[in-house]
Amino acid sequence: MPLTHTIAHRVGRYLERQGLLERDVENSYLASDAVDDDPMTPLLGHSITYRIAVGSQAGRKVFTLQTLPTSGDPFGDGIGKVAGSSLHAGVAARADERKKLERLCRYISRPAVSEKRLSLTRGGNVRYQLKTPYRDGTTHVIFEPLDFIARLAALVPKPRVNLTRFHGVFAPNSRHRALVTPAKRGRGNKVRVADEPATPAQRRASMTWAQRLKRVFNIDIETCSGCGGAMKVIACIEDPIVIKQILDHLKHKAETSGTRALPESRAPPAELLLGLFD
């Protein structure tokens, strides 16, 4: 893809000017000596090149299980890789396809490792099953325990680094950000006088914690499970002593009446991202 070449060239030139990369004789890039002081740099480098980072086998390619390569790419020309840079344009959503856009955002924000696809081999190594086989037919990746820990360490973000980056009009310094965000925050936002009352739209700009709980984990605490009526938060109790007294009272009430006063605890429901790439 020509766009991938452009991205790789511009990003490489930028990192070169910052002193993070050096251009070699083959017109590719090597890590600069300026980043050697960071102990995480070798772990990151081995992680993205699928090489063993620690132990007696350090520097070698990780062990993989492969099957026959796939005959074709399901996304066709929508994916490109150039000089370590990749671009995925195989999935698109129209402006009115809000649910599809949300599924896409949830997919790219998913955790890096799925525990359901982790297992141990008979030899004590860690086996990770890929959700979708690679083009070369790779279905599983095998790690030594210490090297697997090094892979997890490479995934830990640095302190005070945002995991979600916003670009274009959503960038923090964009002069149009206040025009496209619900909270109207950012440059270009008109300063409201302190005595001026907020409009209903401004009051609804930020979701409450109850709304966020329903939005993220699909747990609705504002609807009665018995009658289906609307409920509201009347108090936010944070004192551990008061919380213990309330729970002890409910437990005693359940024991004397024979009914369950507290619902069974459960983990947040897992939503399967089915049909994302259909």
Q: What is the pLDDT of residues 60-103, one digit of tens each?
A: 888 888 887 766 655 566 777 777 677 888 888 888 898 898 88
3-state secondary structure of 210: helix
pLDDT at 64: 86
3-state secondary structure 151-187: HHHHHCCCCCCCCCCCCHHHCCCCCCHHHHCCCCCCC
- Arithmetic mean of pLDDT, 202-208: 66
Q: Are 230 and 222 spatial neighbours (Cβ–Cβ below 8 Å)?
A: yes
Which amino acid, residue 190?
K
Count Cβ atoms below 10 Å from residue 54 Cβ, excluding itself: 17
Q: What is the pLDDT of residues 215-243, one digit of tens each?
A: 888 888 888 888 888 888 888 888 999 99
Alpha-carbon dihedral sign for residues 101, 104, 109, 111: positive
**Phi, psi angles (nearest 5°) of residue 91:** -125, 130
The pair of structure tokens assigned to 67 is 């099957």
Categorize the per-residue pLDDT at 278 as very low, low, confident or very high, splitting at 50, 70 and 90.
Answer: very low
- Arithmetic mean of pLDDT, 144-166: 85
The pair of structure tokens assigned to 158 is 């640095």
Q: Give the chain's length.
A: 278
Write the CB contacts of 97 (distance below 8 Å, at least 6 apart in sequence): none
- Kind and range of the H or E element at 140? strand 138-143
pLDDT at 127: 93
Kindly give the residue spans of alpha helices, DSSP state H, lying in the chain. 2-17, 40-48, 98-108, 145-155, 177-180, 200-203, 209-217, 240-257
Q: Which of 157, 108, 151 is nearest to 128 (CA)?
A: 151
Q: Are 90 and 277 spatial neighbours (Cβ–Cβ below 8 Å)?
A: yes
Helix axes of 145-155 and 40-48: crossing angle, nearest 10 degrees? 100
Domains of the chain, by residue range, sit at 2-155, 165-206, 209-257
Count Cβ atoms below 10 Å from residue 112 Cβ, excluding itself: 8
Count Cβ atoms below 10 Å from residue 62 Cβ, excluding itself: 21
Q: What is the pLDDT of residues 3-19, one digit of tens each?
A: 888 888 888 888 888 77
3-state secondary structure of 115: helix
Categorize the per-residue pLDDT at 273 as very low, low, confident or very high, splitting at 50, 70 and 90.
Answer: very low
